[in-house]
């Protein structure tokens, strides 16, 4: 058994309600059992237990906003002290220059900022907040932090194509309005349907991919996905992938607040999931049925200037997650 990448969500809620995310009010919001704050002692247990399996990288995110956790700096330092690559995803509204500097000095390697919408108008439409200018201002301050502390840590941006019919124009807008002014690295992906929950997503992978589905590879990957919350009062629920957001309760493989990593990895829920993927019986798994990650679409990565990324890269089994994460810095 090997775990090279740990995605451990530290806060289950979010201060945004983006329309393309199951956290959104339009989608009914996230299940209450998963809107929790992970206690530091549970976080430390999960990280230290995972280190027994060859751990290389830890991302302090899942589907919530990590900058909302009051002990984020402490958690970053805990991971960095163990010589593990440290990162997280954020919407950037609370990632001020002051906070970013504290995190970089604590050992943060990478913060990836989601900016869906390359213009203020499109950003407001998709992320349901008029925060485009505020986030850009934060990132300009973060850029100054990077200049003061060269080589210690950095931020990237991540965008999703919102109008596939004008994909190339949207890529150019993102580069012109965000990448070039910030002098930063970034990536632009096509949207996903969140384990089949978005039937009317703006981009239908099934129309662009071979009709025969294949395993996404995640049940067999050396990546452990841990939520902040869990069922029946528990924290640290293990789930198969990040795209079960909104269906977390259906996808729980165990809880690391009271179980060990080994107990979860040899448990019946994961064994059942793996066998279904081996047999290509995807409809047997409620959170896999209809998921567009099963479609091998060569167009999902539309653009990137990050070393190790390439146009046509899949978000599934073709990505070496730890290597991809570590390659993004430097």
Element (H or E) spanning 86, and its range? strand 85-90
Q: Which residues of 209-248 are buried (b: 16+ CB within 10 A; e: fewer)?
A: beeebbbbbbbebbbbbbbbbbeeebbbbbbbbbbbbbbb
pLDDT at 282: 95
In order of 26, 236, 284, the CA distances from 267 in angstroms are 35, 16, 18
Question: Where do the structural domains in the chain lie, given as residue ranges?
Answer: 5-327
Cα 47 → chain centroid: 17
pLDDT at 319: 42
Per-block mean pLDDT, blocks of 10 residues, the chain (330 long): 93 94 84 97 98 96 94 98 97 98 98 96 96 98 97 96 95 97 96 89 88 89 96 98 94 98 96 94 95 88 89 55 37
**What are the two backbone dihedrals, phi and then psi, of residue 302, each rounded to the nearest 5 degrees?**
-85, -30
pLDDT at 27: 75
**Rounded to 5, what percent of the chain is helix, strand, coil?**
40, 15, 50
* CA–CA–CA angle 153, 159, 162 (5° rounding): 175
| CA proximity to 228, closest of 20, 110, 3, 65 | 65
What is 5-327's CATH number, 1.10.3720.10, 3.30.1490.190, 3.30.420.10, 3.20.20.70?
A: 3.20.20.70
Indicate the pTM of the whole model: 0.93
pLDDT at 199: 78
């Amino acid at each position: 058994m090997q775990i090279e990448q740990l995605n451990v969500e530290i806060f289950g809620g979010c201060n945004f309600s983006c329309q393309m995310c199951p956290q959104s009010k339009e989608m009914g919001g996230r299940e209450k059992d998963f809107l929790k704050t992970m206690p530091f002692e549970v976080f430390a247990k999960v990280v230290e237990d995972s280190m027994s399996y060859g751990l290389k990288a830890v991302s302090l995110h899942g589907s919530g906003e990590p900058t909302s956790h009051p002990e984020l700096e402490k958690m970053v330092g805990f991971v960095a002290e163990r010589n593990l690559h440290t990162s997280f995803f954020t919407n950037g509204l609370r990632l001020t220059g002051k906070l970013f500097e504290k995190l970089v000095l604590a050992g943060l390697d990478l913060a990836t900022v989601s900016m869906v919408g390359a213009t203020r108008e499109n950003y407001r439409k998709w992320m349901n907040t008029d925060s485009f200018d505020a986030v850009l201002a934060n990132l300009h301050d973060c850029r100054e932090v990077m200049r003061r502390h060269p080589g210690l840590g950095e931020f990237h941006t991540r965008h999703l194509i919102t109008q596939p019919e004008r994909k190339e124009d949207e890529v150019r807008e993102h580069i012109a309005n965000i990448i070039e002014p910030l002098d930063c690295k970034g990536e632009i992906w096509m949207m996903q349907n969140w384990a089949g929950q978005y039937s009317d997503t703006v981009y239908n992978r099934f129309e662009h991919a071979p009709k025969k589905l294949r395993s996404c590879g995640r049940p067999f990957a050396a990546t452990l996905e841990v939520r902040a919350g869990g069922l029946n009062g528990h924290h640290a629920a293990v789930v198969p992938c990040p795209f079960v957001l909104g269906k977390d309760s259906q996808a729980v493989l165990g809880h690391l607040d009271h179980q060990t990593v080994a107990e979860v990895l040899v448990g019946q829920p994961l064994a059942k999931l793996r066998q279904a993927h081996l047999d290509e019986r995807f409809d047997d798994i409620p959170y896999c049925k209809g998921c567009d990650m099963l479609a091998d679409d060569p167009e999902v990565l539309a653009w990137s200037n990050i070393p190790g990324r390439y146009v046509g890269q899949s978000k599934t089994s073709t990505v070496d997650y730890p290597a991809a994460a570590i390659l993004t810095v430097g």
